[in-house]
Chains A and B, each alone.
Chain A
Amino acid sequence: MANTKFIKSEFFFEEDVRESVAEVPVDKHQPWPENEKLKVVGKEIPRIDGYDKTSGTALYTFDINLPHMAHAKILRSVWPHARIKSIDTTQAENLPGVLAVITHKNIPEIKWFEDSFLFDTKIRYEGEEIAGIAAETEEIAEKALKLIKIEVEELDFTVDPGQAMKETAPKIHEGGNIVGGNPFTYERGNFEEGIKNADAIIEETYSTQVVVHNPTEPHCSVANWDGDKLTVWDSTQAIFTVRGVVSRALNIPENNVRVIKKYMGGGFGSKLAGGKYTVIAALLAKKTGRPVRLTLDRREMNLAVGNRPDSVQSLKLGAKKDGTLTAMSHYAYGSSGAYQSGAGCSWPFRTVYQCPNVKVEEYTVYINAGPGRPFRAPGHVQGTFAMDSAIDLLAGRINMDPLEFRLKNYAEKDQVYNIPYTSKKLREAYEAGAKAIGWEKRNKQPGVGTGRYKTGIGMGTQIWWGGGGPPAYVTLKLNRDYSVEVLAGSQDLGTGTYTFVAQVASEVLEIPMERISVILGDTGVVPYGPPSGGSVTSPSISPAVRDAAEQMKQKLMKAAAAVLSLKENDLVYKNGTVSSKSDPSKSIFLSDIMGKINEPVLVTTGAREANPEGYMIQTFGAQFADVEVDTLTGKVRVKKIVAAHDIGRVLNRTLLENQFHGGIIQGIGFALMEERIIDGNTGKVLTTNLHDYKLPLITDMPEIEVIIVSEGDPMISNTGVKGIGEPAHIPTAAAIANAIFNATGVQIKSTPMTPDKVLMALSQNS
C-alpha cells in the first residue's frame, strides 16, 4: 500500500454514527472531471454478471449441493410468549433418516441478543428457535420437527406497542418493555416559545405498519467442516459480520471460519445480521460430521428474520403566515419486536426543514413478535411519510404552495451537528422534479372536481447519509497478459457492485471491461470491506478501487522509467502503454514491462480515504407522484413518479435507474399494499405467505422518470460517489400520500393506504 496515516474518522451506517480511528491513504488523487469526460464510469454498461443470472448458472447459497450433504430444519415456537418446561426429542431422534437433534439441553450455552441464548427456554415470539434437526432429506427433517414434544407454560403476551408501553403489560424482558429503559430525546431552541410565535398550528397523529423484507432467496446457509476449519456459504449482506458471529458463537478463531457468498437473492437489510440459522447449521454439521444445508421457508421468513418496525407519530408544527416554520415536535413509538432493534424515525424531522425550535421524544418498544432489522432506509420511510404529510397540511392552512413552503424552509446546513454539508443540491432537485411532473397542473384547491376518478400531484423530500467511509480495502492484481482481477471486501446484493468495481478499474487502467474480473464475498480471499447496507458500498468501495488502480498505474510508470532509462515525469500512460512525452518513439507495453521486471502478477492494495472533518455528508432528493383515486372503490393508482436526486457521481446510468425503479416500486408497496398483520387475540402472524402478504407486481408499476442533479462530490472521495439504494425508497410513500391529499382533499394518515382506509376517510369528510 502507498503512504498511509491513521486518522479519526466518522461515518454513518444506517442510523449509527460510527467513529473510529482508520488507516487512510496520505496522497489524494485528483478528483475526476464530470462524467461526460470519462470513458467508462457513468455510462450505460450492462452488468457483468448478466450472463450468469440469465443462463441459470449463477450459483446462490440456495443452490449449493455438496457431496454427502444433510438437510436441516428449525423447530420454531407456535406460542408468542411461553416458558419451556420440558422437551422430549426421543421420537424425533428415532425417526429413520434423522441424523441429529440439537436443543438447549445438548449444546453449550450460546449467548444471543441482549439477555437470551441461541436456544432459550423463555420464548418471546411466534417463530422463535427451539431446536434444530439434521436429516437425510428436508422432508424427513420436517417430519421429525412434529415429533418433538414440548411442554410449556404459556405466558400473557402483548403484540401492540401502545399496549406494551403500559405498566400493566406483560414484561418481555426483565427491565421492562421500553428498549434501553428510556426514550430517545432531542431538543433545540424552545419549542413552546416557537409555538407561541406561530400563526398556524397543526397537530396530527400518523401511523405506519410493519413491513417484511421478503427477499426472494430465503435466508440460508450451508456449513461444512474440514476438521477445525469451517466453511459457510451464506446468503448474507455482510460476510465479515457473519464470520464474527459464527466465530464467537462457536468459540473458534476467525481464521478458521470462511464465509462465502457469490450471488444472493436480495436482502434489503434483512441479511445484515449473522443469523441463528447459520450457527445451527454449523453445529449440526459438526455433530453429524457431514455438510449441512439449512434453508428457511417463506413462513419462517415472515416470522423470524426481520421487518421494518411500525410507528405511531404525533406531530405538532407551527408556522408564520409567510411560511416560516417556528416549531416542530415529534412524539413517537414503534415496536422493536421481541429483541432489540431500532424503531426511531426522527432524523428527517430534525434535519430536512429549517426550524430553530424542535423537540423529539421516541420510544422503541418490545412486543411479542419477530425482531426488527434494518429495512431499506430504516426510520426514514416512516418518518418522512408523517413529516411530509404534516408539512402539506400546514402549507394548506396558510394557503401556500407546498413546494414554495419547502423552499421557504430550506436548510442550508446540518442543524443537529451545526456543520455544513459537503454538497447539497436539493433545490436543483426540487426544480427539476417539479418541472418534470408538471407541478403547475396540481389542484390549487385539494379535492376539487366531482367525478368518480380524482387525480392529484404530491411530493416528498429525501435525506439519507450514504457517504460511506473507511475502512474499505481493495486488492488489484494485474496479470502480464493485460487482464485484471479486483478483489473487494464487499458483496453484491443485486445492486451492481461487481459491475461498478470493474468500471472504476477499467477507467483508470484503460483496460477493457471484458478483461477485468471481480471477486467479492469470500472472507478467505478478499480484504476487509463494510457490510452492504446503509448505501455505503459504492461510496466506500469505488474510491478504494480507484486508489488501487492509480497505484498500479504509478507502479507501471516507475518500472517503465527504469526499463527505458527515462525520467518518470517524462512518461505518460495510455491504454496499457507507457511512452515518453519528449520522444514518442520510446514506449513500452505493460506486458513487456512486467516481463523485464520478471513479475507475472503485480499487486496493489487500495484504501478508502478519510471523510473531510467538520462536514456532514448526506444524499438529498425529492419525489413527485401523480395519482388517480377511484372514489367509488377507494383504489389508488400511481400513474407517474418523478425522482430527482443529489447522489454525487453516477457510476452506471443503467444500474442506477434500475435501483431507483426498485426503490420506488417498493415504496408503492409500503404506501399501498404491504402489511404484516398479527392477530391480537392469539399473538399469531396472519400474513406468512406471498398471497396474504401483498407485494407489488409488474402491473403496479407506474411510469418512472429518474433525474440526477449532481456530478461527483470531490469533498467526499476520489470518485465523489454517494449511495443510492436507500435514497431511492425514502420519499415515495410521502409523495403518494400527498398526491392522494391533493386529489381528494383528504389525508390518509395511516399506511398502507388501502381502499378501505381511503373510502373511510372520504366518507368521514363528506
Chain B
Amino acid sequence: MKSKDISRRKFIKNLGGGVIGAGVVLSHKPLKAEDQPAKDENKQNLARLNLTVNGKKVSLDIEPQTTLAQMLREKLKLTGTKVVCNHGECGACTVLLDGRPVYSCHMLALDAEGKEVITIEGLMEGEKLQPIQEAFVKHDGLQCGFCTPGQIMAAQGILNKNPRPDRLEIMEGMSGNICRCAAYPKILESAIAAAEKAE
C-alpha cells in the first residue's frame, strides 16, 4: 500500500487518540462547572487543517494560532524538529515545505494547508539513515545535536534545489542555521560530502 492511499480514518486510527484529542484541552480532573464555557469556546475556535506530513495525509483540528513547529511537535509528536529561538532567527526548526526549507516556528500551521511537509523523521527509510544523514555522522557535522535536524533539513533543501551546489551556495543556504557549538566547519564538510554523493 502506498502511503498516499491511507484513508484519513485509518490514519487517525493508527495514530491513536493523540490527534483526535489534539484540539481538546485534556484534563483528568473532573471538570468544574466554570470550565465548561472555556472548553466550548476552544472548540469553536478550532480550524480544520489538511496536509501531508512525511508522506502521510494528516487532518486535524487546531487552534488557528498554532505554528507549524507546534503542530509537528505537540500534535503529531514529531519531536525531531527543535525549537530554539521561536522567532525565526536560528533555523533549528527547519522543515521542508513542498521541498523548500522553511522555519516552522515562524509560520502558522494553517499556512501549510494542502502542502507537503517533510521533517527529519520523514527523511528516514524505516530505521535507515539517508545519505545526507550518513554524511553528517561520518563527517561529524554536529556536537550537541540539538540544531542538527534543522541543519540537515536546510542542507537537504539546498540539494533539492540544486543537486550539485558549490561551496558558496551551501554556505549561503546554511547561513540561516545557528549552531551554538559552532561545529560549522564539519557541518559544511558534511553538506559538501552529501552534495558530492547526490545524483
Contacts and interface: CB of A to CB of B under 8 A. Distances in A.
Contact of B84 (A53, A57, A216, A654): A216
Given A55-B129, A494-B181, A698-B188, A690 B145 contact: no
Interface in B8-64: 25-29, 34-35, 37-39
A97 B181 CA distance: 38
Given A46-B137, A96-B38, A662-B181, A216 B144 contact: yes
A215 B179 CA distance: 9
Interface in A608-656: 654-655
A665 B145 contact: no
Contact of A695 (B34, B143, B146, B180): B180
A80 interface: no
Contacts of B146: 60, 62, 215-217, 264-266, 494
B178 A49 contact: no
A40 B192 CA distance: 27
- Of B26, B85, B183, chain A has the most CB atoms within 10 Å of the CB of B85
Interface string A215-228: 11110000000000
B175 A699 contact: yes
B121 A46 contact: no
B140 A216 contact: no
A54 B152 contact: yes
Interface residues of B, number: 61
B34 A96 contact: yes
A661 interface: yes
Contacts, number: 184
B27 A136 contact: yes
Contacts of B175: 697-699
B34 to A, nearest CB: 7
A51 B180 contact: no
A704 B185 CA distance: 8
A264 B182 contact: no
B104 interface: no
Instruction: Identify whether the interface residues of B are mostly helix, strand, loop, or mixed.
Output: loop
A298 to B, nearest CB: 5
B25 A52 contact: no
A654 B137 CA distance: 11
Contacts of B171: 698-699
B89 interface: yes
B82 A665 contact: no
Contacts of A59: 79
B66 to A, nearest CB: 9
A666 B182 contact: yes
B68 interface: no
Nearest to B38: A96
User: Sorted from nearest, which 3 A-B pairs have the closest CB atoms?
Assistant: A56-B80, A494-B144, A265-B146
Interface of A: 46-47, 49-60, 62-63, 65, 68, 94, 96-97, 99, 136-137, 140, 214-218, 263-266, 268, 290, 297-298, 493-496, 654-655, 657-659, 661-666, 669, 689-691, 695-701, 704
Interface of B: 25-29, 34-35, 37-39, 73, 77-87, 89-90, 92, 119-121, 124, 129, 133-134, 136-138, 140, 142-149, 152, 171-172, 174-175, 177-188
Given A265-B144, A297-B86, 17 more contacts: A46-B138, A51-B129, A55-B129, A56-B124, A62-B79, A216-B92, A266-B180, A298-B85, A494-B143, A655-B140, A663-B182, A669-B182, A690-B84, A696-B182, A698-B175, A701-B184, A704-B185
